[in-house]
Amino acid sequence: MLRIKEGFKDERFVSLPDTLLDAYAADPLVGNLYLRKIGYFPRVKYHYVLKQQGCDYAMLLYCTEGEGWYRIDRQRYLLHKNQYAVLPPDVPYELGADNGNPWTIYWLHFKGRNCRCYCPDGHAPRDIQPGRESRIQERLSLFEELYRSFSLAYTIDYMRYTSACLHHLLASFLYAEPYDSTRSRTDHGLSFSGQVIRYMEEHIGHRPSLEELAAHFRYSPSHFSMLFQRETGMSPIGYLLKLKIQRACQYIELSNLKIREIAQMLGFDDPAYFSRLFTRIMGIPPSAYRMSEKGSGATPPRDASPAAGAGKAWNPAPESGIRTDEPTGGN
């Protein structure tokens, strides 16, 4: 039976029964390389593992925050942010998080006939240098896809897909230079936050929660927020609110829609809250903004409608760093 376990705060991992994995190992598409267990441990203070006899599987450790260490063949190595290590099968090891600055790690166990092909020479950690072309966020997206697929792998099709994804993910680490240099043209130049912002703009009239935004990009809400804020300096919902007000300015200037209609087009069910939010961001109320930008002259035709994408009324859920003390109910 599938087990999804939790221990440390926000920890998550997935494992399958050994009997099921043994059966999958006989499959020609799975047996060469397959997943045994996969997980994510954020800031895991006092994390410690000792394998005195080694294991029959290899382990990938990818550190994205903090630091930790591992000891193998009597040599102790430090693992820092933006580094990874692969611990080979059948070799004793121990590992642990730094007590003062504990690591955040993505990790997985993998087995199969070609398992050792994905174990690099030597045991020293390797760098994944951040940068415009480093594709770090895409690696994490691959990890999340692998995680979800494996969580459903009590059927052979999902396990086969998991195996195919595992090849891709491991190759993105071991062959980092070709992986980083072959970015898809459709994503060229767009950072993680750029992709999120584009999605927000395309769904400006909808009412996504933080959880829905994170799910769309295949992250946990906390990790999604951390990634977005690291690139923009703002929370996702805070940025979305400013995009909505930016679009409201366009509607106010380019249409003759009433303020309450614009509020509804942008997903706000309380015009008073919309006006207060507009005033807080723009410095003047929407009616004053219309007067200052359009003057008292002729108004545009009534059929100058906003762009498509209006959705259900929306009020932002409370989030750290975002003022949500305004009334949200009523129409």
- Res. 296: pLDDT tops 60: no
Residue among 16, 21, 31 nearest 115 (CA): 31
- Res. 319: pLDDT tops 70: no
- Res. 186: pLDDT tops 80: no
Percent pLDDT > 90 in the chain is 58
- Read off the pLDDT band of 183 (50, 70, 90): low
> What is residue 2's predicted lDDT score, i.e. its pLDDT?
40
**Using CA atoms, how far apart are residues 302 and 287, in angstroms rounded to an integer?**
17
CATH number belonging to domain 190-331: 1.10.10.60
- Tokens 């190759």 locate to 171
Classify each residue of 104-131 as buried b or exposed e, where b means 16 or more C-beta atoms within 10 Å of its C-beta: bbbbbbbbbeebeebbeeebebeebeee
Domain 3-185, CATH number (from 3.40.50.970, 1.10.3720.10, 3.40.50.720, 2.60.120.280): 2.60.120.280
DSSP SS3 for 262: helix
Report the predicted TM-score, pTM, of the whole model to 2 decimal places.
0.53
- Res. 154: pLDDT tops 70: yes
> What is residue 329's predicted lDDT score, i.e. its pLDDT?
35
- Read off the pLDDT band of 321 (50, 70, 90): very low
- Res. 306: pLDDT tops 50: no
Q: Among 111-120, 128-137, 193-202, 212-221, which is the least confidently predicted range?
A: 128-137
Residue 303 carries which DSSP code? T
The structural domains of the chain, with segments of one domain joined by +, span: 3-185, 190-331
**Using CA atoms, how far apart are residues 95 and 84, in angstroms rounded to an integer?**
13
